[in-house]
Amino acid sequence: MSLFDSISFIKPGSWLGLLGGGQLGKMFCNSAQQLGYKVVVIDPSNDNPASAVADLHLQSSYDDEDVLNHFSSICKSVTVEFENIPVHSLSFLAKKKVRVCPSYESIAIAQNRILEKEFISSLGIDLAPYAVLYDYEDCINISENLFPGILKVAQLGYDGKGQIRVKDKGQLIKAFDDLGKVPSVFEKMLPLDQELSIVVARGFNGKTQEFPPSINFHSSGILSSSIITSSNHEIYSNIDISRVSFIAKKIIDSLKYTGVLCIEFFIVGNRIIVNEIAPRPHNSGHYSIEACITSQFEQQVRAMVGLPLGDTSLMSSAIMINLLGDVWFDKSSGLQREPNWVQALDILGAKLHLYGKNEARIGRKMGHITLLGNDVYELNKRAYDLCSIIGIDYESV
């Protein structure tokens, strides 16, 4: 019996399932269809990026058992577009003998900051100092050494949502109240030298493949840009990339994970601190669509159908720039306008991805641009020029 017989290789032409209809789902659909698969999407909205390109859209909540029964009768393997899918829905599908990638147990850990930190800490991996808060008494008894810090809700927070920065206990109690008095994590703010992420994939056979790590810049808690080049480049000179790789492999193996996982790191001096994990492709990995032999989305498909993981070698250095809805509004007048795509795409090596969202809103992810080239410093100059054209404040490497 071959390896692929033993893990039930799913042949092209079969249906794959996706829970969630956002832009990550759209890019997953594109990769799945390229490899010959059909995709059915469950999403409650009637207008979302993934359903616009999927072969079938089931407009429903994620926990409708009638819809999940129908879903499980169509597809052989399912994955998630974002981590806040109800775990009981994923467990329901697993009981129907549908292959859920990653497992609902992994997603349960990744969607809860308390469980996530407990899991990472159990592996002996460095975290920022933190405290778990369940009630006002926990806020009052918290150590003064954790201030200033960031209060984060344990569940359903993302892209800076469900987070408040606080300086003292008085602010903490108010912030806890403002966030609904729900279980939360309070993290000490650290003097960061860099923020880094790495996307790693693991197949059913336990083999892993890592994508080149990206150096990330954020604005208001949302990723603004990522820079990627060969791991021996001087921009990584103060980062132990081999240690980053070791930590990533330890986490994904310990989870017994199948699929694509992103791990975000804080670099503080010589310390490599895990910030959080995301059980799916990640914004900081979008560069892989053009810059790597295999994209993170194709890797997601390969993992869930039992194909060998693809080559993640970097073919070009890259800078990925997030396009938020802010770009569609003039900074001076506040009036809505179309960004100057003609001038922006005159920049050498620029690749535009718009997600097909009908309404531009401040802070909403509308697309991204990836710049490709051999010299990361030349790319940096082009990125500055591009951002000036479309009205983005660019933070250079």
Cα gap 294→314, rounded to integer Å = 9
Q: Does 162 carry a binding-site annotation?
A: yes
The answer to whether 386 touches 344, Cβ cutoff 8 Å, is yes
**Six-digit token string for 94:** 């697993």
**Six-digit token string for 373:** 């080239």
Q: Does 113 carry a binding-site annotation?
A: yes
Q: Does 373 carry a binding-site annotation?
A: no
Q: Does 159 carry a binding-site annotation?
A: yes
Q: Does 97 carry a binding-site annotation?
A: no
Q: Does 30 carry a binding-site annotation?
A: no
**Six-digit token string for 190:** 């650290």
From the number of C-beta atoms within 10 Å of its C-beta (0-12, 13-18, 19+), residue 37 rates as: buried
Q: Does 167 carry a binding-site annotation?
A: no
Cα gap 90→109, rounded to integer Å = 13
Cα gap 196→266, rounded to integer Å = 6
Q: Does 76 carry a binding-site annotation?
A: no
Cα gap 245→253, rounded to integer Å = 12
Q: Does 160 carry a binding-site annotation?
A: yes
Strand partners, 319: 227, 371
Q: Does 169 carry a binding-site annotation?
A: no
Q: Does 84 carry a binding-site annotation?
A: no
Q: Does 395 carry a binding-site annotation?
A: no
Q: Does 27 carry a binding-site annotation?
A: no
The answer to whether 260 touches 280, Cβ cutoff 8 Å, is yes
Cα gap 209→44, rounded to integer Å = 33
Strands 222-228 and 317-324: antiparallel
The answer to whether 114 touches 183, Cβ cutoff 8 Å, is yes
Cα gap 57→52, rounded to integer Å = 8
Q: Does 124 carry a binding-site annotation?
A: no
CB atoms within 10 A of CB 312: 19
**Six-digit token string for 377:** 């410093």
Which residues make up each annotated binding site?
Answer: 113, 152, 157-163, 187-190, 195, 218, 275-276
Which residues make up each annotated binding site for ATP?
Answer: 113, 152, 157-163, 187-190, 195, 218, 275-276
